[in-house]
């Protein structure tokens, strides 16, 4: 059996990896606010290799974070019981949905005109689904979740959108984002992230959480083997042009095309390539002390608070920067939200260097904000802090 110090290390490893994923996510959003482009950054007909990779590396964030949330759910169950876990997941999921529908969407838009179902909503809704899934038999449920991840690309999205008619927005929410295929979604509602396959990934994280009852070396071996198997399967499927709706092209950007995968919704190949990043980090950090990586573990412990804080800082900072640079306040996120009507300043130029400088400065600032918040949370017993 492992001693208590190893148990603490296991928890710290989750915080460290969460922190790494949050910092990478901040890079992506910093680029959105401070180096926006009129084209999608993974569009290889326009994007430079540097821009493509800056966006691509952040693809690891959402799948990894959702998987780790599943692990955390299992650890919560270990402290209490399954019914309490289910109640907690239900309440926290609803809280996340409300948080994004109000505060987060308001920040993204520098105002409020539409509820955009994004990553926090997908995380919250997946928690609500997990609240019910944890009560089902584990083995058959896990098989169903793997099946969903493996074959959801084959779902007849367009046919289902047509058949659902006035209720096509349901399928926009489940699998086909309304930003890609408009059904009859209400004007006040838009989907970017979808529930499939995120709730399946969260459930598999919950199942994998059981390995935290095993010796650390056995768990690390599992993580390394899973990573190798997943990457190998990705390479085979990608060469065969299976597992993703976007086909790679053997051109001067052949490698970038090969790893340029469908994120909305997550394709099988996308999951196979991105999850090993988090698995390998979990394996490496499993035997590390939190003090060695306090920068990331601190941010990881306060991940939701840091998420909201970084958006507030980015919005305010970018508004002041645009005022100083172009003489008017501009929310460059509108370049994505309202791309057809967005008016670019005449002197505007994208700059990855500018984005990276802001990202490094912001990440440092967020570390101190996270430290303050964790201290505040420890000193106060407000009930809402349980969900943040």
Residue 96 pLDDT > 60 = yes
- Res 112: pLDDT: 81
Host domain of residue 286: 4-155+196-387
The pLDDT of 113-141, averaged and rounded, is 95
For the chain, the residue count is 388
Residues 6+ away with beta carbon under 8 Å from 80: 88
Tokens of residue 85, six digits: 């876990």
Start-to-end Cα distance in the chain = 33
Domain contains 336: yes
Residue 176: inside a domain: no
SS3 191: strand
Given a cut of 90, whether residue 27 has pLDDT beyond it is yes
310: confidence class by pLDDT, cuts 50, 70, 90: very high
Is the confidence at residue 6, as pLDDT, over 70? Answer: no
- pTM as predicted: 0.93
Kindly report the average pLDDT of the chain as a whole number.
91
On the CB side of 265, how many CA atoms lie within 13 Å of its CA?
30
Structure tokens at 128: 């609500």
226 domain-assigned: yes
Over residues 246-267, the pLDDT tens digits come to 888 877 789 999 999 999 999 9
Residue 168 lies in a domain: no
Q: Are the C-beta atoms of 14 and 72 separated by less than 8 Å?
A: yes
Residue 366 pLDDT: 98
Domain total in the chain: 1
**In the structure, what pLDDT confidence band is assigned to residue 4 with cuts at 50, 70 and 90?**
very low
Q: Is residue 178 part of a domain?
A: no
Task: Give the β-pairing of 115-117 and 189-191.
Answer: parallel
Rounded distance between C-alpha atoms, residue 170 and residue 307, angstroms: 27
- pLDDT more than 90, % of the chain: 72
Q: What is the structure's pLDDT at 179?
A: 60
pLDDT confidence of residue 80: 81
**Most confident of the following: 106-115, 285-294, 311-320:** 311-320
181 confidence band (pLDDT: 50, 70, 90): low
Contact partners, residue 360, CB within 8 Å, separation at least 6: none
**pLDDT confidence bin for 186, thresholds 50/70/90:** low
Give the C-alpha separation, 165 to 170, whole Å: 10
Residue 133 belongs to some domain of the structure: yes
Residue 182 within a domain: no
CB proximity list for 63: less than 8 A, separation 6 or greater: 201, 266, 270, 271, 274, 275, 278
Specify whether the CB–CB gap between 332 and 318 falls below 8 A: yes
- Inter-CA distances, 53 with 85, 259, 278, Å: 38, 10, 18
Could you give the CA distance from residue 48 to residue 54 in angstroms, rounded to a whole number?
10
- State yes or no: pLDDT of 339 exceeds 80: no
DSSP 324: H
Residue 154 DSSP label: G
Is residue 339 a part of any domain in this protein? yes
150 exposure class (CB count in 10 Å sphere: 0-12, 13-18, 19+): middle
């Amino acid at each position: 059996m492992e001693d208590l110090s190893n148990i603490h290390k296991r928890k710290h490893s989750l915080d460290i990896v969460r922190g790494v994923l949050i910092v990478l996510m901040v890079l992506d959003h910093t680029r959105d606010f401070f180096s926006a482009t009129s084209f999608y950054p993974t569009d290889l007909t326009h994007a430079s290799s540097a821009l493509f990779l800056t966006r691509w590396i952040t693809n690891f964030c959402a799948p990894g974070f959702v998987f780790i949330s599943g692990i955390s759910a299992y650890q919560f169950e270990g402290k209490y019981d399954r019914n309490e876990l289910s109640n907690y997941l239900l309440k926290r999921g609803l809280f996340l949905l409300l948080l994004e529908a109000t505060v987060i969407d308001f920040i993204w838009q520098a105002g409020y005109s539409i509820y955009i179902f994004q990553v926090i909503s997908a995380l919250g809704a997946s928690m609500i689904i997990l609240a019910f899934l944890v009560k089902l038999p584990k083995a058959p449920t896990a098989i169903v979740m793997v099946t969903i991840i493996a074959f959801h690309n084959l779902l007849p999205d367009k046919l289902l959108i047509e058949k659902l008619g006035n209720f096509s927005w349901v399928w926009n929410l489940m699998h086909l984002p309304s930003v890609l295929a408009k059904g009859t979604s209400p004007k006040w509602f838009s989907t970017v992230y979808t529930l499939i396959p995120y709730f399946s990934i969260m459930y598999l994280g919950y199942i994998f959480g059981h390995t935290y009852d095993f010796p650390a070396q056995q768990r690390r071996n599992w993580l390394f083997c899973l990573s190798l198997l997943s990457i190998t399967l990705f390479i085979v499927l990608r060469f065969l042009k299976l597992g993703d709706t976007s086909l790679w092209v053997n051109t001067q950007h052949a490698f970038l095309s090969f790893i340029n995968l469908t994120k909305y919704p997550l394709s099988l190949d996308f999951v196979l390539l991105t999850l090993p990043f988090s698995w390998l980090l979990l394996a490496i950090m499993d035997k590390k002390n939190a003090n060695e990586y306090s920068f990331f573990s601190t941010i990881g412990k306060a991940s939701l608070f840091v998420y909201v804080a970084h958006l507030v800082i980015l919005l305010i900072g970018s508004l002041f920067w645009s005022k100083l640079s172009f003489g008017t306040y501009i929310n460059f996120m509108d370049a994505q939200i309202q791309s057809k009507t967005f008016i670019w300043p005449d002197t505007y130029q994208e700059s990855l260097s500018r984005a990276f400088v802001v990202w490094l400065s912001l990440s440092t600032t967020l570390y101190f904000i996270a430290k303050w918040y964790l201290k505040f949370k420890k000193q106060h017993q407000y009930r809402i802090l349980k969900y943040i």
